[in-house]
Chain A
């Protein structure tokens, strides 16, 4: 996973977001065991307490659950995962729209361009 972190906003919140993405994208599959906190923290280059806090957020949301001694697991609730995925996708789309609006594109233009690029295959121009 790419753990790039911006220091301007709370690190735990950014880590939680990355983990949510990991689960939504299937990098961590339903029912899969997550690596231990220390390992994740080391991978991300952050303090274990900060990673712990991020995981607690996900626990609160039900996306992961602790099993007393075995560690932390991803939920098996497919609906919950797809809802999380939907939320992330919406956020991403909103970001896209605001970037396009900054360029002065109208809603119609944005949809037209999105449709065109989807048709070309989005990697074509990149």
Chain B
């Protein structure tokens, strides 16, 4: 059973249709790149998968279940915006995550904070944007989830930190867990992705294994993206 499955998924906000019949699967042990220009529906899909939005049509399943209380236990979200309360420190956030999520691995969070040289006692308010993003990612990746939904995990950090974040993602998910990652920094994520879905105007424009697409086109996923979404 796929970890995440969408079948003809639709979502409208009033008269604007954000998703117009999206079907895709994310399998355990694999990293799926959700790639698309701004406004193509990436964040909408991620919000539907974690139950923050209700679909207007079609189906979405996480390990066979519709998003709800049970799936929240196994889905770890990294939102596309900074969502940490400014008055809290990483140490306090870890304690909160431990209370909230059975699968939170405080030891892993502590180790990752240490590796990135982040002071666990410093308040979020006093951190740079990049550091806040790192803390958010650490919190998300420190859960032993079945599905990680990472919305633009590398867009706000410097290139050196990107490499670290990419290796953190690659080394911190269990063999049966799936990672779905949205980004428009494709060349940075190129080595990370097993599978890719190109989303354009709420539809799947192209999808497949990253290496298969390279083999077929003789192009990088980044070059292919630029070709498909040429302005």
Contacts and interface: CB of A to CB of B under 8 A. Distances in A.
A47 B31 contact: yes
Interface in A1-25: 5-13
Interface in A57-85: none
A45 B160 CA distance: 13
Interface of B is mostly: helix
Interface stretch (B41-49, B66-74, B220-228): B220-228
A15 to B, nearest CB: 10
B56 interface: no
Given A47-B31, A49-B30, A50-B211, A11 B191 contact: yes
Contacts of B218: 8-9
A10 B218 CA distance: 8
B128 interface: no
A32 B187 CA distance: 35
Contacts, number: 58
A41 interface: yes
Given A46-B191, A47-B192, A10 B166 contact: no
Contacts of A5: 191
B215 A47 contact: no
Interface residues of A, number: 20
A32 B171 CA distance: 25
A7 B211 contact: no
B170 A47 contact: yes
Contacts of B210: 11
B214 A8 contact: yes
B167 interface: yes
B170 A41 contact: yes
B219 interface: yes
Nearest to B191: A46
Contacts of B17: none
Contact of B214 (A7, A46, A53): A7
B26 to A, nearest CB: 13
A8 B29 CA distance: 24
B215 A9 contact: yes
Contacts of B223: 7-8
B152 interface: no
Contacts of B214: 7-11
A42 B220 contact: no
Given A7-B187, A47-B194, A12 B211 contact: yes
Contact of A49 (B29, B163, B171, B222): B29
Interface of B: 29-31, 163, 166-167, 170-171, 187, 190-194, 210-212, 214-215, 218-223
27 contacts: A5-B191, A7-B187, A8-B218, A8-B220, A9-B214, A9-B215, A10-B211, A10-B214, A11-B191, A11-B210, A11-B211, A12-B211, A13-B211, A41-B170, A42-B170, A44-B191, A45-B163, A45-B167, A46-B170, A46-B191, A47-B192, A47-B193, A48-B170, A49-B30, A49-B31, A49-B194, A50-B211
Interface of A: 5-13, 38, 41-42, 44-50, 53
Q: Which 4 A-B pairs have the closest CB atoms?
A: A7-B220, A10-B211, A7-B190, A46-B191
